[in-house]
Each structure stands twice: as C-alpha cells, then as structure tokens.
Amino acid sequence: MKPSMIFWTMVHARQKDTVGGSVTVTTTASTPPPPLISWAPPAERQPFDRLVTLVARTGEATEAEADALCAATPRDKLVARGAAVATPRVAADSLRIFGRACLFFQGAPKDLVALVRLSPDVVRIGAWTALEAERRDEASRAHRAEKRAAKSATATVAGAEEQAAGARADQLRVLLLNVAGEDVHTATRIKSAAQPAAEGHTETSRGRVLAALVEEGAKLLASDAPGAVTRRALFRLDKAYLDGCAAVAERARLAARAAEAPAVAQGRSQADVDLWDGRAMVVADMVVTAFATAHAIDARVPKLAYVALRDRSGDKRKGPPKKKDAEAAKKDGDAVKNDPAKPDA
C-alpha cells in the first residue's frame, strides 16, 4: 500500500473513534489502598490544658469508685506512695495519660478499642481522682499560706507591744528609783525586777519586766514613809498611772505568747493529699499497663508513657530525664499524635 493510503486510513480510523456513542476504556495496573483511619482528630491539639477540662469531658466520679479500683493497695501504702512525689508531678502525668486515653476511647476504631482491656470508666475515675488530689493540694497550700500570714501578723503585733512595754518599763524604773530615794532595799528590788534573766526567771520579755515593776510601784504607793509620800507626789506616781502600765504589760505578754505558740500541725491534711495522689498513681499504672499490652498486639494502639513520674511502673527507663523527656514534659496536654502507628512517647 502506498504511504498516502496508509496516512488516510489512520486519520479515518481516529475520526471514527470520536463519533458520538463510542466508548474508550482505560485501565490501571493497581488501585491505591485507602488511608489508615486515625484515632486522633486531624490537626487538633489535645484540648485538655488542665485536669478540670479533662474531667468536664470524661465526667465526675466518686470516692467509692476510686476505692474500688485501688482496693488491692492498702491505704497506708497509698499514702506512702503519694507522699513520695509532689502533687503537681502527679497532676502533670495524669493529664497526659488519662487525656490521651480519653481521646483514644472516644475516637479510635472499635477494633482497636476492643484490644485495650479496660473500660473508659477507669479513665474517668482516674482523671477525677487526680483532680481531687490537685484540689486538696491547692486547698492545703492556701491554708498554710493563711497560717503563715496570720503568724507574721501576730509577730508584728507582738513586736509592737514589746516595744511599747519596753519604753514604759524604762520610764517606770527611773520613776520608782526616784520615789524609793534612800530606801536601799526597795531600790535593789526595783533593779532586780528590771533584770529577770539575772534573777533566773524563764520569762524575760519586756512585758514581764513591766509587770514586775508595777508590783514594786504598788508597794511604794502603799508605803506611809514620809519621804515616799512626798516623792510620790513630786514624781506623780499614782494608781491610774500604774493601772495604765499594767494594761500595757498584759497586752505585751499575751501578744508574745501568741507569737511563740507552735503552728497548727498539718499532718492530717497532707496525709489526705498523699492518699489521693496515691490513688491517682495506682489508676494511672492500670491505664499505662493496659495500653502497653494492647500495643504489643497492635502497634496502632498508642503507648502511654510517664514523663514527670518516669520511675513509675510501665516505663522501665531510669536515670535523669533526657532532653526529649524534658521537652515532652513541657508539652503535657499538647499534640496528640495523628499517626496511630506511632507509639505515644
């Protein structure tokens, strides 16, 4: 066939392919698989910035439920475990562990949820327990701060009253010596009253000194010796003045006793905080272990790791925190991993 005939045949065949009603079938070698379903909301940072926010999502619990979960651990051991760490560290890891477990249960595929052998109620109880520990710790800290402020105010008052009693005692001592005049025995008693430490008295405050001088003044006021009677009038030693000095002495002594009183013991309150910390840590261990065993079956189940409490069970690493751990601790409550195949480190 001539070349011109070959070209015409090809053009004619292409025109026939474009005629209405013709169908062109295309095939591909393979179809790409659908993407994996992620249990974390896409492009969403973990919304639980605080335990109270997490509990608002999971729901409240009761102390009876917390006790039921922790029944295998004696109460004294719960307190001892909670006492070993600071409450803010327990709260930080509780937010991290229970928060990510909550997102998993609320967003993961059912087949992955079924692999984690515990109820979402465990997460609810754990988050609430950690929040209760945090609340009690904050209340205890506030109470101690109030006690310190009250103690400081009491010390300030005591200092002012002591200063006033000291000034009044100096004035009264000079006045009494002037009234005593030639009476050596009375003058000796006045000088001894002004030096309680030298006389072996356990109380040496200025209030005590002033009270002792008031007693000596009362004796001089009752004296009928002619010289004493004359000098009392000259130096204006009278009952009203001594009563005023006695009132100043009493205020100073009472203020000093209040300032020296021991602080109210906070052991019971702190033991209560430690108990709730211990409960939160026990429940966190349960959640970490459940997720770790499920992760061993299917790597899409995240591993929930400790950061603030790295020495707890479920995380075998020891020693000081590494740089990546410190960074993770600063991001507690942040960045849930969107790739379910990667463990939560």
Chain segment 173-208, per-residue pLDDT in tens: 999 999 999 989 999 999 988 887 766 667 778 888
Handedness of CA 59, 64, 69, 74 (dihedral sign): positive
How confident is the model at residue 325, as a pLDDT? 45
The answer as to whether 2 is a domain residue is: no
For residues 242 and 218, give the distance between their C-alpha atoms in angstroms, rounded to a whole number: 7
Q: How confident is the model at residue 265 (pLDDT cuts 50, 70, 90)?
A: low
Work out the burial of residue 98: count CB atoms within 10 Å of its CB; fewer than 13 is exposed, 13-18 middle, 19 or more buried.
buried
Handedness of CA 130, 132, 133, 138 (dihedral sign): positive
120 shares a domain with 185: no
Q: Are 277 and 87 in contact (CB under 8 A)?
A: yes
The answer as to whether 183 is a domain residue is: yes
Side-chain half-sphere exposure of 233, counting CA atoms within 13 A: 6
* DSSP sequence for 278-301: HHHHHHHHHHHHHHHHHHHH-TTS
The answer as to whether 303 is a domain residue is: yes
Range of the domain at 71: 51-143+266-330
Which of 260, 285, 310 is the last residue before a domain boundary?
260
254 shares a domain with 277: no
Which of 260, 277, 305 is the last residue before a domain boundary?
260
When divided into structural domains, the chain yields a total of: 2
Is 80 exceeded by the pLDDT of residue 158?
yes
How confident is the model at residue 340, as a pLDDT? 36
Q: How many helices (H) and strands (E) does the chain have?
A: 13, 0
Q: Are 89 and 133 in contact (CB under 8 A)?
A: no
The answer as to whether 120 is a domain residue is: yes
Let me know how long the chain is: 345
274 shares a domain with 253: no
130 shares a domain with 55: yes
323 shares a domain with 245: no
How confident is the model at residue 146, as a pLDDT? 82
Q: Which two tokens stand for residue 275?
A: 């108990």
278 shares a domain with 256: no
211 shares a domain with 281: no
Q: Which two tokens stand for residue 341?
A: 């195949």
293 shares a domain with 273: yes
226 shares a domain with 77: no
255 shares a domain with 176: yes
pLDDT in tens, 3-49: 555 444 554 554 444 444 444 444 444 555 444 445 554 444 567 89
Nearest Cα to 217, choosing from 197, 185, 246, 196?
A: 246
Coil, strand, or helix at residue 133?
helix
For residues 256 and 319, give the distance between their C-alpha atoms in angstroms, rounded to a whole number: 50
Which of 209, 238, 260 is the last residue before a domain boundary?
260
The answer as to whether 6 is a domain residue is: no
For the entire predicted model, the pTM comes to 0.60
The answer as to whether 237 is a domain residue is: yes
256 shares a domain with 273: no
Coil, strand, or helix at residue 11?
helix
Residue 320's alpha-carbon distances to 65, 284, 298, in angstroms, are 35, 21, 30
Q: Are 253 and 223 in contact (CB under 8 A)?
A: no
For the chain, give the percent of residues with pLDDT over 90.
54
276 shares a domain with 253: no
Scanning the structure block, which residue is given the tokens 């109620």?
121
User: Looking at beta carbons, which pairs linking 192-198 to residues 24 or more positions away fall under 8 Å?
Assistant: 194/169
Q: How confident is the model at residue 239 (pLDDT cuts 50, 70, 90)?
A: very high
Q: What is the mean pLDDT of residues 144-169?
A: 88
The answer as to whether 29 is a domain residue is: no
The answer as to whether 40 is a domain residue is: no
